Amino acid sequence: MRNPQDGAAGLFLLAVAAFALWQGADLPLGTLRSMGAGMLPTSLAVLVGLFGFILVVLAFLEDGPALERWNLRGPIFILGSVIVFALLIRTAGLAIAGPVAMLVSCFASDEVRWKEAVIFSVCMTAFCILLFKVMLSLPIPVFTLF
């Protein structure tokens, strides 16, 4: 393998695709005219697997960087932000859970500009409230602290 970094990324994508296909195997696909619950996850899993396969093939054809030591800071804080969002969405609402989760994910990098991160998280949360609550009328709690 001439490009171990792309090869490892491709194998990871293949594993994610295989897991998604396994988990969605019981969902009905339906047809293109009448899509079932499994159409989107299966389609996305196939695309992810295709891209993973392409990465693995290219890893044997092109030179690239070696695998470096993994830093766990990023995955820990990204996973932590998902957990924080899940814990806050029902108790505090989207207006609180959104910015808090995004700001927790900012700890994944040491190159964060906090002023921009706060502005971005507030703007994205406002967009999500507008999209999901107002435009799509989904039953998502917006602000439930009090």
Q: Give residues with Cβ within 8 angstroms of 129, minimum separation 6.
A: 94, 95, 98, 142
pTM: 0.67
pLDDT at 117: 96
| Tens-place pLDDT, residues 112-133 | 999 999 999 999 999 999 999 9
pLDDT at 68: 85
Q: How many helices (H) and strands (E) does the chain have?
A: 5, 0
Residue 35 forms beta bridges with which residues?
Answer: 30
| Tens-place pLDDT, residues 48-73 | 999 999 999 999 999 988 888 888 99
Exposed, middle or buried, 22 (CB in 10 Å: 0-12/13-18/19+)? exposed
The Cα–Cα gap between 18 and 92 comes to: 35
pLDDT at 146: 63
